[in-house]
Amino acid sequence: MPLKTPEQYEESLRHMNFKVYLQGELVTNPVDHPIIRPSMNSVKMTYTLAMDPQYEELMTATSHLTGKKVNRFTHLHQSTDDLVKKVKMQRLLGQKTAACFQRCVGMDAMNAVDSVTFEMDKKLGTNYHDRFIHFLTRVQEEDWTVDGAMTDPKGDRSLSPSKQADPDLYVHIVEKRADGIVVSGAKAHQTGAVNSHWILVMPTISMSKEDADYAISFATPADAEGIFYIYGRQSCDTRKLEGSTIDVGNSQFGGHEALMVFDNVFIPWENVFMCGEYEFSGMLVERFAGYHRQSYGGCKVGVGDVLIGAVALATEYSGVSKASHVKDKLIEMIHLNETLYCCGIACSAEGCRTASGTYLIDLLLANVCKQNVTRFPYEIARLAEDLAGGLMVTMPSEKDLRHPEIGKVVEKYLRGVASIPTEYRMRVLRLIENLTLGTAAVGYRTESMHGAGSPQAQRIVIARQGNLEQKKELAKAIAGIPSK
């Protein structure tokens, strides 16, 4: 069954035994919890579109392992065309959900682990790659959603993992046994973890010899014994408990993050893909980060498309769409959004084949892509708030609109263009609020800054990949200066 239906995906989560805490309480049914459910719907869309012939080319691929059609989120990139289609798929899903659809991290992790384990085995004589391919084959056959887990809490950032006052501030090996390892620690900001079947863990930084116990990569069921989750708060998240579709802004879809805790979790050797090989930890971090920074040139652009469309509607509903400054600001939003997309496509088209056969994006351009993402969505959101107007954040609730007495007053005084129902105006303004200030802002504006690494992390790679010395030589040749 290489392709799950959306219904099968939802049902599969119901059979899992997640241990999730939300606002201090243990959640008995994560799938139907009103705060969590919209994020599950976003992941579900990755299954829905894969079943639609209209989107088959983007949403599915042919597995080079089995020859079967698989969901692209479980696929290893076999060409630059695969890399380009990945970005186009992510833009499509952003357009369909206006939220984080959560499977990107696992896809990026699997592609990174594939090439790194292959090169690690070749140099060290280990057999991690065979283990990983066996795991990936199962992922493809079951169409599992895999959550990539890289970010550790880190504690005191001035200290290495092994020098922390509390060793659990980075995931590490507690015990090595004949049948596997036992790990302890936590992963922070875990996107979509509670909607995933498996977790693929990676180290979060380049390790030294003294940190070898922290240089680990492994896969584990998301509901394995010893794993529990503390669900993260989002702005306006309790609006989902009110039963209002207008006030949430995007009532159907959403995203989520969680603190994932490993309390002495056992991992069998067959699911261990790095165990102390610290010299390869930096490579794994860099390649995963590169893939994930490429992803932002797709997903954030798709959400941006929805935001731009919502703002255009809001200006029409208020009667200002023909003003020259409004047109110019919408043009600027489109310009910034498409520039992000250009970088996502460029780093994909300039990708290259790794030793394992999996294609890697151009690392320099991927980091340029993400560096732009740390800036442009903020300006797009600023322009959106500018054009939406103050009513976006002072508007009465849906309950006021539905009230038998004051509802007529709301209808009367919040109407813009006479031919447009007041409810439509309220709906689109709440959507803009959701995308710029509310729960979706976590997956759009704020995540644009910190997701896939902070801005400084990209600048470090840009400095390393920028080949400044070669540029100096180019200048010398043109200026007539002898080269050393």
Which are the catalytic amino acids? Answer: 100, 104, 191, 257, 292, 296, 299, 447
Beta-bridge partner residues of 230 = 21, 259
Beta strands (DSSP E) in 316-460 are: 352-353, 359-360
Nearest to 101 by CA among 191, 21, 188: 191
Pairing of strands 172-177, 180-187: antiparallel
Q: String of b and e for 262-289 (b: at least 16 CB within 10 Å)?
A: beebbbeeebbbbbbbbbbbbebbbbbb
Beta-bridge partner residues of 175 = 182
C-alpha torsion 194→145→438→250, nearest 10: -110
Terminal alpha carbon distance of the chain: 61
Can you list the alpha helix ranges (DSSP code H) found in 163-280?
none
Distance in angstroms (rounded) separating the CA atoms of residues 467 and 364: 10
Provide the token pair at 252: 């159907």
Classify residue 91 by its DSSP letter.
H
Distance in angstroms (rounded) separating the CA atoms of residues 380 and 333: 5
C-alpha torsion 389→391→393→399, nearest 10: -150
Distance in angstroms (rounded) separating the CA atoms of residues 107 and 128: 18
| 11 CB-near residues (< 8 Å, 6+ apart) | none
| 136 CB-near residues (< 8 Å, 6+ apart) | 65, 74, 76, 110, 114
Distance in angstroms (rounded) separating the CA atoms of residues 78 and 115: 12
| 242 CB-near residues (< 8 Å, 6+ apart) | none
Residue whose entry in the numeric block shows the structure tokens 């504006």: 445
Q: What does the angle CA 449 – CA 376 – CA 455 come to, to the nearest 5 degrees? A: 30
